[in-house]
Chain A
Amino acid sequence: MKARVFQLDSDPHRAAQALLPWYGNSTLDAEERIWLEAHLGECPRCQADVEFQRHLQTLPAAVPAGAADRGWLALRARLDAKPAADIRPATKASGWAGRWLPLALGLQAVLVLVLATVWLAPQQSAEYRTLGSAASVTTANALVVFRPEATEAAIRQALRAADARIVGGPTVTDAWLLRLPDRGAGSLARLRAEPAVARIESLEGEPAR
Chain B
Amino acid sequence: MLRTLTDRHRAPPDPRRSTDIDDVALMARVARGELPAFEAFYRGYHDRLHRFIGLMIQHHAVIEEVLNDTMLVVWNRASTFNGLSKVSTWVFSIAYRTALKALRDHDEPVEEPEGDRYPSLRAGPEQHRSAEEARAALTRALEGLSHEQRSVLVLTYFHDLPYAEIAVIVGCPVDTVKTRAFHGRRRLRALLSGEAEDWL
Separation of A115 and B144 alpha carbons in the complex (Å): 52
A5 B178 Cβ-Cβ under 8 A: yes
B196 at the interface (CB under 8 A from A): no
Main secondary structure of the interface of B (DSSP, over half): helix
A27 B162 Cβ-Cβ under 8 A: yes
B50 A17 Cβ-Cβ under 8 A: no
Separation of A14 and B199 alpha carbons in the complex (Å): 11
Indicate with 1 or 0, residue by residue over A17-39, a CB within 8 angstroms of chain B CB atoms: 11111111111100000000100
Total chain B interface residues with beta-carbon distance under 8 A: 60
Chain A residue nearest in CB terms to B174: A1
B64 A24 Cβ-Cβ under 8 A: no
Q: With A26-B10, A63-B47 as given contacts, are A21 and B156 in contact (CB-CB < 8 Å)? A: yes
Indicate with 1 or 0, residue by residue over A68-89, a CB within 8 angstroms of chain B CB atoms: 1011101110110000100111
B42 A75 Cβ-Cβ under 8 A: yes
Separation of A153 and B151 alpha carbons in the complex (Å): 53
Chain B nearest CB, measured from A173 CB (Å): 6
A89 B98 Cβ-Cβ under 8 A: yes
A97 at the interface (CB under 8 A from B): no
Indicate with 1 or 0, residue by residue over A167-182, a CB within 8 angstroms of chain B CB atoms: 0000011000000000
Chain B residue nearest in CB terms to A20: B185
* A121 neighbours in B (Cβ, 8 Å): none
* A120 neighbours in B (Cβ, 8 Å): none
